[in-house]
Amino acid sequence: MSDRVQQWASLLSTASRRYVAADMYAGEYWFTGKELAARAASARQLRVSVVSAGLGLIGIHDKVPMYGATFAARHPDSVLATMSAVAHSRGRRQWWDELTRAEILGRSGPQRVVEIEECGSDTSVMVCLGRNYLEAVAADLKALIERLGDPQRVMVFASGVPLPGLEESWVPISGGLRLILGGTSSSTTLRSAKAVLEELGALPPSVDEARVIMARLTAEAGDLPSFDRRRQDDDMILHWILDHLTENPNSAKTSALRHFRDGGNACEQARFGQLFDKARKIAM
């Protein structure tokens, strides 16, 4: 085991486990995930697990410590902080492999994605993860498919090109689905899985069934609208924000950015947020 994982495991071993996983996570993605879990539970026996970059595979009712870790690059809590960009994919896989073998929480139940099969011989698995997290658990998913002996029973709801070895389980999700499923792009995979369960009712889901439903919904949704926005320099954006705050002193960053983009302007969210904070200080 690498020194970094050993240090991380040692740090968490002394942390208080007073938080229930279901209550610790927040945001639209997690809220949609709980909606999906509730929908699935109404029709079939269900186990909901969280792929955590800090704790491994955990159940939503597990008691866990507060922590900060992510597989996303260029984030203060990234587990890839000391790795070069070209090593990120390998780094995610290595971290996940070592983390899950460390058995940080020492609990019962599946410790790795591949062990989900042990919950039942007729298990079906729906996977809704971002690309960074899929890269981390890809080997586990391939091993799970082999153990189940049927790629139809492991549905990977994801966008982009399928990861090697997961082609037969890949359920393609297009950005246009947001137009009929709602929400932001971060929750589209979860909303897609929920739509599949709602349409199938008590029938067991499969890759083929999910693909047919997603293809039909994608055709109904059409393409996302494209915007020919103008990119502006920092000074222009800063002055725009100052004017906006003069008229809307209680405005939040997200609503200000939406108004800015609605005016035909382009700016990355992180950059706009930094300029917004700067404008707030100037306006005080």
Tokens of 234: 């920092």
271/280 Cα distance (integer angstroms): 14
Contact call for residues 189 and 158 (beta carbons, < 8 A): yes
Compute the average pLDDT of residues 157-163: 93
191/181 Cα distance (integer angstroms): 6
Tell me if the pTM is above 0.95. no
| Segments making up each domain of the chain, as ranges | 3-221, 230-283
Confidence of residue 118 (pLDDT cuts 50, 70, 90): low
What's the pLDDT at 85?
61
Least confident of 119-128, 233-242, 253-262: 119-128
Nearest to 126 by CA among 58, 217, 36: 36
What's the pLDDT at 69?
92
**How many Cβ atoms are within 10 Å of 179's Cβ, its own excluded?**
16
Digit-coded pLDDT (tens) for 128-147: 999 999 999 999 999 999 99
DSSP string, 215-238: HHHHHHH-PPPP--PEE--HHHHH
DSSP state of 207: H
What's the pLDDT at 142?
96
What's the pLDDT at 248?
78
Per the model's pLDDT, the better-predicted residue between 279 and 26 turns out to be: 279
Residue 283 pLDDT > 80? no
DSSP state of 160: S
**How many Cβ atoms are within 10 Å of 34's Cβ, its own excluded?**
14
Contact call for residues 232 and 267 (beta carbons, < 8 A): yes
Digit-coded pLDDT (tens) for 167-188: 999 999 998 898 899 988 889 9
Confidence of residue 4 (pLDDT cuts 50, 70, 90): confident
Digit-coded pLDDT (tens) for 54-104: 999 998 888 999 999 999 887 888 888 766 666 888 999 999 999 988 877
Report helix, strand or coil for 250: coil
